[in-house]
Amino acid sequence: MDPRNVIVTFPELLLWFPLLSGLIVLLLNKGDKAKNWSLVFSVITLTISVVSFMFTDAKWRPLNQVSYFWLPQIGSSFALMLDGAGRILCFLTAFAYPVIFLTTYKTKYKNPNIFYGLMLLTQSGLIGVFCAMDALVFYFFWELALVPVYFLASIWGGEKRIQATWKFFIYTFTGSLLLLVGIIYVYLHTTNSTFSLFSFYNAHLTAAEQNGIFWLFFVAFAIKMPIFPFHTWQPDTYEQSPSAVTMVLSGIMVKMGVFGLIRWLVPVLPLAVKHFDHVVIGLSVVGMIYASCIAIVQDDLKRLVAYSSIAHIGLMCAAVFSNSESGIQGVLIQMFNHGINIIGIWVVVEMIERQLGTRKISMLGGLAQKSPVLATLLVIVALANIALPLTNAFVGEFLIFNGLFKFSGWYTALAAISIILAAVYTLNMIQKVFYGETNSITVSAKDIGANEAIMLSVIVVAIFVVGVFPKPFFELSNDTVINFLSKLSGGK
């Protein structure tokens, strides 16, 4: 195959296929057809994403980037590219969807065609965010990913869904608008008046200007991740959303924020990053301890996981600002790890809730006797979540902490306290849900079915593969890391 005769590129396939399939599913009639078709479509997307890993070499460059004629009047072209980080996150997105569809296969939704259609549209938006090379395109997909999620959560959510999703929408939308203002400001200061990523990297901005724009960008990303104190939408939204949506939100969507930092904030505003690094890392570290403490006293499984996620994301955010190769490499791999680990946990929560009708930790107990397979798999996923060695998160957190230590030992020591707190709430959860004697609710529990066990096992295998042999990941993300660091050191 000659790389020069390219008919269709990977970013296009990954982007348009879910979009089209989403539209097709929307038009389908009600019933199981929508569910089955969207499963098939998501598996095809996954296949495309896997195939794209065979073409990472520099000579396949034409296969990995594309640019359409879009809005030449204002200097914006529809530019997409798959680089190391983008490829990993696209893979995460593509991998997560079949897992989500399969594990929630037994859950019944009203109007399934709309539900699954919107899910696939979200997928397209997410992939767009990870591929975009043009600020306007990035913004476009940033919003495209948000809007369907709003409808998903507010139509199929829990009791207080309207309140929670309204807050979620307003909150993230405020952030988005700030981001738009920031983008336009930078656009007006680019040398050639285009929205392309590279002209953003070379924009003429004084230190004072950068400091101002920094907050516009940062608040948008901080809300999405979320970083303390912009996080309060998250537990409510996770709690109220249907599990499939929660998995998308926490598994993939929060990575948009971290990814935004890596691609659009730090390299564009290197001076401001140097200026505010202590503020951001301080916020992140405080947020980690804060969220971990709160997680200790949560009774609702979903809220517990939500707060634990805030702590983990805080660590990634701190590492992005630590200006070290190890830290940024750790973040890239940890985004993937956190995605699959937390989806694994949600799968377990979903199964417990579907079977027993409650998520209250205080009402559960003794499940290990009734469902040993579920218990074993959960213990593995939960321990991966607290970064035990030989699991994937250890590799990520080790590098992240190492990078952070280069920045400052004290922040690292503080942040590492959350490791202990993470052990406290995770073990509490395992103990109260799985150990002890059964009670009237859990006495009727059964073990999980084959398809769920297989899905969870896939996650567990992924956890160990990345945990033992992470090298391919480092090679993949190396180009992003080098690019990132060169931008940052150029700003000195």
Partner 1 sequence: MSKIVFLVPLIPFFGFLINGLGRPVISKSSAAIVGSGSVLISFILSVILFVNVKNGHGGVFNGFDFISVGKLQIPFSFQVDQLSSLFLLIITGIGFLIHVYSAAYMHEEKPADYARYFAYLNLFVFSMLLLVMGSNFVIMFMGWEGVGLCSYLLIGYWFKNNDYTNAAKKAFIMNRIGDLGFLLALFWMIQQFGTLNFAEVFSKAGSMPSNTAALTGITLLLFLGATGKSAQIPLYTWLPDAMAGPTPVSALIHAATMVTAGIYMIARSNVLYTLAPVTQGVVAVIGLATAILAATIALKQNDIKKVLAYSTVSQLGYMFLGLGVGAYTASVFHVMTHAFFKALLFLGAGSVIHACHHEQDIRNMGGLKKYLPITHITFLLACLAIAGIPPFSGFFSKDAILIGAYEHSPILFWVGLIGSLMTAFYMFRLYAMTFLGKFRGTHEQEHHLHESPFAMTFPLIILAVLSTVGGFLGVPELFAKDANWLEKFLSPVFEVSETKMPPHELPHSTEYVLLGITIVLVVVFIGWAIAKFRNYQKTEVEETGFGKILQNKWYVDEFYNAIIVKPLNKFSWFLDSIVEKSGIDGIVNGIGKFVNYSSRQLRLLQSGQVGAYILMMVVAALFFFIIQLFVK
Q: Which residues bind partner 1 (CB under 8 A)?
A: 167, 170-171, 229, 231-233, 290, 293-294, 296-298, 325-326, 329-330, 366, 368-369, 372, 383, 388-390, 394-395, 398-399, 401-402, 405-406, 409, 412-413, 416-417, 419-420, 423-424, 427-428, 431, 434-437, 468-471, 474
Least separation in angstroms between CB 104 and partner 1: 27
Least separation in angstroms between CB 394 and partner 1: 8
Task: CB nearer to partner 1: give 372 or 490.
Answer: 372
Task: CB nearer to partner 1: give 35 or 359.
Answer: 359
Task: CB nearer to partner 1: give 140 or 233.
Answer: 233
Least separation in angstroms between CB 303 and partner 1: 10
Task: CB nearer to partner 1: give 9 or 480.
Answer: 480
Task: CB nearer to partner 1: give 127 or 328.
Answer: 328
Least separation in angstroms between CB 272 and partner 1: 25
Task: CB nearer to partner 1: give 116 or 336.
Answer: 336
Least separation in angstroms between CB 437 and partner 1: 6
Task: CB nearer to partner 1: give 180 or 416.
Answer: 416
HEC profile of the chain: CCCCCCCCCHHHHHHHHHHHHHHHHHHCCCCHHHHHHHHHHHHHHHHHHHHHHHHCCHHHHHHHEEEEEEEHHHCEEEEEECCHHHHHHHHHHHHHHHHHHHHCCCCCCCCHHHHHHHHHHHHHHHHHHHHECEHHHHHHHHHHHHHHHHHHHHHHCCCCHHHHHHHHHHHHHHHHHHHHHHHHHHHHCCCCCCCEHHHHHCCCCCHHHHHHHHHHHHHHHHHHCCCCCCCCHHHHHHHHCCHHHHHHHHHHHHHHHHHHHHHHHCCCCHHHHHHHHHHHHHHHHHHHHHHHHHHHCCCEHHHHHHHHHHHHHHHHHHHHCCCCHHHHHHHHHHHHHHHHHHHHHHHHHHHHHHHHCCCEHHHCCCHHHHCHHHHHHHHHHHHHHCCCCCCHHHHHHHHHHHHHHHHCHHHHHHHHHHHHHHHHHHHHHHHHHHCCCCCCCHHHCCCCCHHHHHHHHHHHHHHHHHHHCCHHHHHHHHHHHHHHHHHHHHCC
Least separation in angstroms between CB 170 and partner 1: 7
Least separation in angstroms between CB 469 and partner 1: 7
Least separation in angstroms between CB 465 and partner 1: 13
Task: CB nearer to partner 1: give 221 or 411.
Answer: 411
